[in-house]
Amino acid sequence: MKRKRSVVTSSPRVRDPYLGPLRLGLRRPRTRPQAAASGSPAASSGWPGAVSGESGLPAASEADARTGGRAVPAARPEIVDLSVDLAPRRPGRLVLQNPVMVASGTFGYGIEYGEVVDVERLGAICCKGTTLKPRLGNPPPRVTETPAGMLNSIGLQNPGVDAVIERYAPLWAGWQVPVIVNVAGESIDDYAGVVRKLDGVPGVAGIELNISCPNVGRGGLQFAVDRDAAAAVTAAVREATDLPLLVKLSPNVTDIRPIAQAIEAAGADALTAINTLSGIAIDRRTRKPLLGNVYGGLSGPAIRPVALRIVYEVAQAVDIPVVAIGGVSSLEDALDYFAAGAVAVQVGTAIFADPEVPLRIVDELRAYCAERGLASHLPLVGTALPARPNRPSSKGVEYRP
Does 39 fall in a domain? no
How confident is the model at residue 114, as a pLDDT? 87
213 is a catalytic site residue: yes
How confident is the model at residue 33, as a pLDDT? 35
User: What distance in Å separates the CA atoms of residue 171 and residue 334, rounded to the nearest whole number?
Assistant: 29
Q: Which residue range is the domain that position 305 belongs to?
A: 84-358
With beta carbons less than 8 A apart as the criterion, state whether 311 and 341 touch.
yes
The total domain count for the chain is: 1
How confident is the model at residue 78, as a pLDDT? 76
Write down the catalytic residue from 126, 127, 213, 369.
Answer: 213
Strands (E), 165-293: 179-183, 206-210, 214-215, 221-222, 245-249, 270-273, 277-280, 282-283, 288-289
Question: Which residues lie below 8 Å from residue 386, measured CB to CB, with a gap of 6+?
Answer: 316
Please tell me whether the peptide bond between 141 and the residue prior to it is cis, using omega within 30 degrees of 0. yes
Which segments of 93-247 does DSSP mark as H helices, in order?
161-167, 169-172, 188-198, 227-240
Indicate the residue type of 113.
Y
Does 94 fall in a domain? yes
With beta carbons less than 8 A apart as the criterion, state whether 249 and 272 touch.
yes
How confident is the model at residue 26, as a pLDDT? 53
Does 277 fall in a domain? yes
How confident is the model at residue 24, as a pLDDT? 57
How confident is the model at residue 179, as a pLDDT? 98
Mean pLDDT by 10 residues, the chain (401 residues): 40 36 49 35 31 37 38 70 97 97 96 92 97 95 95 95 98 97 95 98 98 67 91 98 97 95 98 96 96 95 98 98 98 98 98 96 97 96 84 46 49
Does 168 fall in a domain? yes
Does 43 fall in a domain? no
How confident is the model at residue 396, as a pLDDT? 41
User: What distance in Å separates the CA atoms of residue 276 and residue 190, rounded to the nearest whole number?
Assistant: 22
Question: Which residues lie below 8 Å from residue 178, measured CB to CB, with a gap of 6+?
Answer: 94, 96, 124, 125, 205, 206
Does 72 fall in a domain? no
Does 45 fall in a domain? no
How confident is the model at residue 65, as a pLDDT? 39
Q: What is the CATH number of the domain that holds 125?
A: 3.20.20.70
Does 51 fall in a domain? no
How confident is the model at residue 369, as a pLDDT? 97
User: What distance in Å separates the CA atoms of residue 169 and residue 204, rounded to the nearest whole number?
Assistant: 7
